[in-house]
């Protein structure tokens, strides 16, 4: 959240690019650094959990469990687990684990969506003359799982 962009720019330095990708050099005299911007994260309530692939799985599961159980202040009736791209799998896994550990008290409602991501291609040029920064957009799939205790039937 605090970082403006992905901490893993691909490729990080021009040396590795030229060594492993001679094709790219032939195609284009200017080398670019691909920087992936962070996806936009719109809602951030207390009960929104954004799942990623860097944090330990157990830690994320424990965090969700804590939100539902509530540490003294009364737990949330529902939480929203969001996963993007590769983290979809993990988001589903967390949601299913929560449901399994609740002995069927929790219900899941999953929604899918498409998130538009922006990549910056910055020219790797020491003189700073050749080429202009290019931006590309691509789509990635996302999932939003509402994990909730079903409301009593009277309402």
Partner 1 sequence: MIAGFGTINGHVGGIQCQVAGSSGLLPAPQVTAQATAELGIHSNLCLHFQGQRYVANAAPTSGAVGGVTVSAVSSLPTAPQMPLPQAPAVPPPQPMMATATAAPKPGQGGFRKVCRTEEASPCPFPGLAPGVLHMRVKEGSKIRNLMGFAMARMQGPSGATAVEVGRGGAFGGGTGTPGSSAGLRQVVFCGSGRAVTKTITCAEIMKRKLGGLHQLTKLCYKGVREVWESQDAGGSGGGGGGEVTVHRTVPSVSILLSKDPLDPREPGYQPPETLTSLWAEREEQSPPAHTAAAKRAMLEPHAPHSSQPSAKRLCVGAGVPLRCPAD
Alpha-carbon gap, residue 22 to 45, rounded angstroms:
47
Answer for which of 86, 130, 134, 151 binds partner 1 (CB under 8 A) is 86
Q: Could you give the C-alpha distances from 38 to 14, 33, 115, 133, in angstroms and in order? A: 23, 16, 11, 17
Alpha-carbon gap, residue 94 to 97, rounded angstroms:
5
Answer for which of 65, 107, 119, 149 binds partner 1 (CB under 8 A) is 107
Nearer to partner 1, 24 or 86 (CB): 86
The contact pattern for partner 1, residues 134-153, with x = CB under 8 A and - = no contact, is -----x-xxxxxx-------
Q: Can residue 109 be called a binding residue for partner 1 (CB under 8 A)?
A: yes
The answer to whether residues 143 and 91 touch, using CB atoms and an 8 Å cutoff, is: yes
Q: Can residue 93 be called a binding residue for partner 1 (CB under 8 A)?
A: yes
Q: Tell me how many residues contact partner 1 (CB under 8 A).
A: 40
* Token pair 């001679």: residue: 22
Among the residue ranges 9-17, 22-30, 37-45, 57-65, the one whose residues contact partner 1 (CB under 8 A):
37-45
Answer for which of 9, 63, 102, 108 binds partner 1 (CB under 8 A) is 108
Among the residue ranges 14-22, 66-74, 95-103, 123-131, the one whose residues contact partner 1 (CB under 8 A):
95-103
Number of other CB atoms surrounding residue 144 within 10 Å: 17
The answer to whether residues 41 and 1 touch, using CB atoms and an 8 Å cutoff, is: yes
Kindly give the residue spans of alpha helices, DSSP state H, lying in the chain.
14-20, 22-27, 57-69, 87-101
Q: Which residues lie near partner 1 (CB under 8 A)? A: 4-5, 35, 37-38, 40, 42-45, 48, 80, 85-86, 88-89, 92-93, 95-96, 100, 107-114, 118, 120, 122, 133, 139, 141-146
């Amino acid at each position: 959240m605090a970082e403006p962009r992905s901490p893993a720019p691909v490729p990080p330095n021009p040396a590795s690019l030229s060594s492993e990708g001679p094709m790219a050099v032939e195609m284009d005299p200017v080398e670019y650094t691909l920087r992936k911007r962070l996806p936009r994260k719109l809602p951030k309530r207390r009960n929104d959990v954004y799942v990623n692939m860097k944090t330990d799985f157990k830690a994320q599961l424990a965090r969700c469990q804590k939100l539902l159980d509530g540490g003294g202040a009364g737990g949330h009736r529902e939480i929203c687990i969001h996963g993007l791209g590769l983290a979809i799998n993990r988001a589903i896994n967390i949601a299913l684990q929560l449901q399994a550990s609740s002995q069927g008290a929790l219900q899941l409602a999953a929604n899918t969506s498409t998130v538009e991501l922006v990549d910056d291609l910055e020219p790797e040029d020491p003189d700073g003359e050749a080429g202009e920064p290019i931006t590309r957009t691509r789509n990635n799939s996302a999932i939003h799982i509402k994990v909730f205790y079903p409301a009593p039937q009277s309402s």
